[in-house]
Amino acid sequence: MPFLVGYAGTPDPAFPISPPGLSYLHGKPALRKDLAFATDFVQRLVARGVRVRAVNHSVYNGFFEDTHQAAHLTTPEGVVEVVFFPYDVATQVKVTRSYDAEGGVYVFAVQRHPSDPEPTVIDSPCDMAVMMEGKLFILTDSEKLAKEVRQALHPGT
């Protein structure tokens, strides 16, 4: 059986290879410079025992006009999307939740400003998918992970 053969070329500068967003240095998480805004959040999760496997930029980077800092965290229990706002989201953002029985998903209507005519709609299989904590807007895709994130943010509860 032949081996796959080909020329080993140099990387294409038009498509640079990025190092992983997360690495561990002496047991502590270290993030790439372009993801440094998420360092404190990741460290809190890891300190609480959440096994964060990877950190990358999130699709929510351009989702909200108020910020372009969002991270996608992968864990064995699921995914965390966290958006970092420059203001306290709990006092500025209104989220209403409903359940779509036909689609089997929870629907979250996110209204960032009272003047927004139409809220932004996010759907999730998890009823605890959206959390707001200080300047953080957090989305998870599993009940277990949502509880772990909440406990990491509020260690005494």
Distances (CA, A) of 49 to 26, 42, 52, 117, 140: 16, 11, 9, 41, 17
Q: What is the pLDDT of residues 123-155, one digit of tens each?
A: 777 676 788 888 998 988 888 898 899 999 887
- Max alpha carbon distance in the chain (Å)? 66
pLDDT at site 1: 47
Distances (CA, A) of 105 to 97, 129, 157: 10, 11, 28
12-15 contacts: CB < 8 A, separation 24 or more? none
d(CA 95, CA 149): 19
Q: What is the pLDDT of residues 44-58, one digit of tens each?
A: 999 999 999 999 999
pTM above 0.85, yes or no: no
pLDDT at site 96: 82
